[in-house]
Amino acid sequence: MAKIFANISENNKCKLLKIMEANTYTFKENEEISNTLHNNNTIGIIISGLIEMQKIDYEGNKSLVDEFMEDDMFGYMFNPIANNNLEILVKEEATIIFIDYQEILNCSLDKYYYTQFLKNILIAINQKLQERNERLEILTNKSIRNKLLAYLRIMAKKHGTKYVYLPFNFTDLANYLVIDRSAMSREIGYLKAEGFIEIKGKRITLLYDIG
């Protein structure tokens, strides 16, 4: 993941944040922070911790939209879902910088570190779009098996190995794939029994050719 403040000294980082009127907050585990995004232009930059963006349907069921960790950016402007259907929840205590996107665009600072900051943001956005496209590729599969295999194939190719380390627990993985957890667990059992995969903790080894 691209680091938003890569190649920027701590001193210049502080100057940038002051000019752009950024605010830094720390949130506790399980705290809901949707209200901290004051408007659609507010973006968050995670300094530490882990948060999840979840979609809530009309029956109150939740599904994982995205997960964000250190150096990730998030905000409503990056998600084509109605704001009132989203919940942002802190999974691990998090420190987050909030900046109004207009403050970034309107900044007239003629310094190399401001240009570097913009480059870092563009790289991060490009990576996030790539992740979105990967998830769309996964979700276009109809069966639970094909969704699982598509997810494992994409993760393995991304890291150049047949070992896939799950960033989620099984509940969160099922939410990410938009499938029932029990049905997913059964399918994983079938894939294991049929010799497609081996599982040890959060590590899944692919035993077939991923192409």
pLDDT in the model for residue 71: 86
Nearest to 120 by CA among 45, 67, 51, 68: 45
* Claim to verify: residue 129 and residue 73 sit in the same structural domain: yes
Contact 177, 148 (CB under 8 A): yes
Token code pair at residue 17: 């944040």
Q: Assess whether 104 and 181 both reside in one domain.
A: no
So what's the pLDDT on residue 143? 96
Q: Are residues 115 and 163 in the same domain?
A: no
User: Which DSSP string corresponds to 6-54?
Assistant: TT--HHHHHHHHHHTT-EEEEE-TT-B-GGGS-STTEEEEEEEEEEEEE
Full pLDDT tens readout for the chain, 211 residues: 678 999 999 999 999 999 999 999 999 999 998 877 766 788 999 999 999 988 887 777 777 788 888 888 888 777 655 556 788 899 999 999 999 988 988 888 889 999 999 999 999 888 888 888 998 999 999 999 999 999 999 999 988 899 999 888 888 899 889 899 999 999 999 999 999 999 998 899 999 887 6
Domain count for the chain, please give it. 2
pLDDT at position 118: 92
* Structure confidence at residue 79 (pLDDT): 65
Nearest to 69 by CA among 3, 154, 159: 3
User: Is 75 inside a domain boundary?
Assistant: yes
Q: Output the pLDDT for position 81.
A: 54
Predicted structure pTM score = 0.76
Same domain, 165 and 127: no
Q: How far apart are CA 90 and CA 103, in angstroms?
A: 26
- What single letter denotes the amino acid at residue 145? R
Both 81 and 23 in one domain: the answer is yes
Last residue of a domain, one of 138, 165, 183: 138
Judgement on whether residues 94 and 149 belong to the same structural domain of the protein: no
d(Cα 73, Cα 75) in Å, to the nearest integer?
7
Residues 6+ apart with CB under 8 A from 201: none
Whether residues 23 and 36 share a domain: the answer is yes
User: Do residue 146 and residue 117 come from a single domain?
Assistant: no
Both 120 and 170 in one domain: the answer is: no
Q: Is residue 5 part of a domain?
A: no
